[in-house]
Structure 1
Amino acid sequence: MAHVLYYSSLCPDTPPFVEALKERNISYEAVDITESMKNLKRFLQLRDERAEFNERKKWGFVGVPVLVTENNQFIFDFNDILGTTCTPPVI
């Protein structure tokens, strides 16, 4: 299983997130949730089933961009990719 990036081309948080991935040569399957109903449904099924989204939903956020790593870790903030948070993820 490869990394999957769920994002929206309409979201202002997407470009810096994608840039952080690119700078680190992290490859992924790109899923633009605003591109098709199929992509949106795929994302919503994931978001509705995973507890990792609960805090974001509580604050009214959609939950994108999010990188789902091949070891099923959910990365919502590009600072986690950059290693500027306390606990950088394992990618």
Structure 2
Amino acid sequence: MAMQDTLHALTDPTRREILNLLKQSRMSAGDIVKNFSVSGAAISRHLSVLKEAGLIRDEREGKFIYYELNTTVLEEIMLWMSELKGE
């Protein structure tokens, strides 16, 4: 996955809020939807963008899909930004 996909995914405030929710713990899609006033389909699209960018992972358990942060990608971005800054 390209860094531009990751940076694009981070530009949307709803996606950033999803990442903040997942910072606490992994969550099902239904639990994520409860935190927003947009449709489940809209949240599903946001989750797809985050997954395509490598920012989250999903795991199916029975009839539920659980999402969690993929901190590896975030660490790579932070390292790149630190290097860009000259640290």
Structure 1 or 2, whichever has the larger Rg, is 2
TM-score, structure 1 normalization = 0.31
TM-score, structure 2 normalization = 0.32
Q: Which is helix-richer, 1 or 2?
A: 2
